[in-house]
Structure 1
Amino acid sequence: MIVLAVLRHDQRLADMAGGNNVSESTVRRWRDELIALLAAQAPRLDRALKKVAKQSGEVVLIDGTLIPTQRRAGKADRRNYSAKHRHHGLHFLALTDEKGRLIWLSAARPGRTHDNTAARHDHILAHLRAAGLGALADLGFRGLDNDVRDPVIVTGFHASRAHKLTPGQKTANRILATERAPVEHGFAHLKN
Structure 2
Amino acid sequence: MSKRTLELVADLIRGRRKQLGTRWRKVTPGTQAIVVLAVLRHDQRLLDMAGGNDVSASTVHRWALEVIGLLSARASRLDRALKKIARTGGIAVLLDGTLIRTRRRTGTENRKNFSGKHKAHGLLFLALTDEKGNLIWISAAKPGRSSKITTARHNKLTAHLHKAGLGAMADLGFVGLDDNPDDAR
TM-score range, shorter chain: 0.7 to 0.9
Out of 163, 167, 171, which is 1:130 matched to? 163
C-alpha distance in structure 2 between counterparts of 1:77 and 1:71, whole Å? 6
Q: Deviations over 1:126-168 (max 9, x none)?
A: 1001000031133xx22221334348xxxxxxxxxxxxxxxxx
Determine the structure 2 residue equivalent to 1:38.
Answer: 71
TM-score calculated relative to the size of structure 1: 0.72
Q: Report the Cα distance in structure 1 between the residues aligned to 2:52 and 2:110, rounded to whole angstroms.
A: 26
What are the Cα deviations for residues 86-126 of structure 1, in whole angstroms up to 9, with x where unaligned? 11111100000111111101111111111111111111011
Instruction: Tell me the secondary structure at the aligned position of residue 16 of structure 1.
Output: helix
Does the aligned pair in 1 maintain the 2:91–2:131 contact within 8 Å?
no
Displacement of 1:19 = 4.2
Q: Decide which of 155, 164, 175 is 1:142's aligned counterpart.
A: 175
Match of 2:96 among 63, 66, 87: 63
**Equivalent residues of 1:10, 1:70 under 8 A apart:** no
For residues 77 and 13 of structure 1, the distance between their equivalents in structure 2, rounded to whole angstroms, comes to: 21
Alignment partner of 2:125 out of 92, 95, 98 = 92
> Alpha carbons of 1:38 and 1:148: their partners in 2 closer, same or farther (altered >3 Å)?
closer
Match of 2:110, SS? helix
Runs of 4 or more consecutive aligned structure 1 residues displaced over 2 Å after TM superposition: 9-21, 72-75, 146-151
Task: Give the aligned partner of residue 51 of structure 2.
Answer: 18
Query: 1:168-187 alignment to 2 at 5 Å?
Result: none
Q: Is 1:103 aligned with 2:136?
A: yes
Give SS of 1:73's match. coil
Gaps of 5+ in 2: 1-33
Distance of 2:105 and 2:51 partners within structure 1: 19
Aligned Cα root-mean-square deviation (Å): 1.7
1:146 and 1:123 map into 2 onto residues whose CA distance is 11
Work out the percentage of aligned pairs sharing the same amino acid.
63
| In 2, Cα distance between equivalents of 1:126 and 1:148 | 11
Residue in 1 aligned with 2:15?
none
2:150 matches 1:117 = yes
Q: Give the Cα–Cα distance (whole angstroms) in 2 for the partners of residues 118 and 10 of structure 1.
A: 26
